[in-house]
Amino acid sequence: MRDTGLKRKRGVLALIFRRRSIRVFGDVKPNRRVLELVVEAGQRAPCVYQSYTVINITSPQLRERIYELTEDNIVRNAPILFLLCIDLRRTKLLFDLLSPRHVLSKSPSPIESLEAIFEAGLFAENLILASEALGYSSVILDWPIRLGKTLQALMEIPAGVIPLFFICMGPPGESPPPRPRLPLDMVLMDNKYVEPDMRRLAKYLDELSEKLAAEGYLLKYVGVRSTYKEYIADKISYDKEVEKLESEVSEYLRRNGLAI
């Protein structure tokens, strides 16, 4: 559906299409009831076992330690800092009440692992949209995946509870333009998978890089002057350091019962 009138007029659609990732926030902190409300909204997302937990990080000392690990000002300055976790520990305890022999009683289960990740994503999206409806914007950071056992130890999180993302929220302190997305027909397919056209993918990368350059995106948020294409190419490059990190993360996930 490409009707921009519907996007503007329908409440939920308007909310979705005006959402932006926000990295600069105002200072106003919401009260506890607002936090509870957006988490309740997250719980209304489709689910199987609700294999997720969200931790509200309020301690200035803890935030400072996380900043020292990430060197990312957002984790120190965001009015709300949620840590979204996969929670197979609670799901296993739930299964223990039902049967002494179940899919999580021994080795990690790939089915429950994928369901838990999917559920956490649905929960996060509901939480984010509920926050938008209340006037709070957000950005998601992937530091917890990379920090793995270090963050787990720092926050005394037990085995089976796997830090996944930070959700940083607060009143928006900026109003960035909409960022490009892949062409709709490269995402929506009928009846069969259609192989992506490499020329169109290259065109998309060029347009994305140009629009973010016009916004001053990398200079503003990362402090670098390279193009977005160069920045992403460097970020995804595979070397010995990345190989070591991936090995450590994979082992950490397996030890915590997540089969990836």
What are the domain boundaries of the chain? 4-176
What is the pLDDT, as a whole number, of residue 1?
47
Position 248 scores a pLDDT of 92
Q: Does domain 4-176 have CATH number 3.40.109.10?
A: yes
- Lowest mean pLDDT: which of 67-71, 90-94, 221-225, 253-257? 221-225
Instruction: Place 201 in a pLDDT band, splitting at 50, 70 and 90.
Output: very high
Residue 3 has pLDDT above 70, yes or no: no
Distance, in Å, from the CA atom of 7 to the CA atom of 70, rounded to the nearest integer, reads 37
Q: What is the pLDDT of residue 134?
A: 94
Q: Average of pLDDT values for 65-70?
A: 97
Average pLDDT (181-186) is: 95
133 band by pLDDT with thresholds 50, 70 and 90 = very high
* Mean pLDDT, the chain, whole residue set: 92
Question: Residue range 230-252: average pLDDT?
Answer: 91
Give the long-range contacts of residues 113-118, CB within 8 A, separation 24 or more: 113/88, 113/257, 113/258, 113/259, 113/260, 115/48, 115/49, 115/51, 116/49, 116/51, 116/52, 116/86, 116/87, 116/88, 116/91, 116/258, 117/86, 117/164
Whole-structure pTM value: 0.92
Give residue 11's pLDDT: 83
Query: pLDDT tens digits for 9-47?
Result: 568 888 999 999 999 999 887 889 999 999 999 999 999
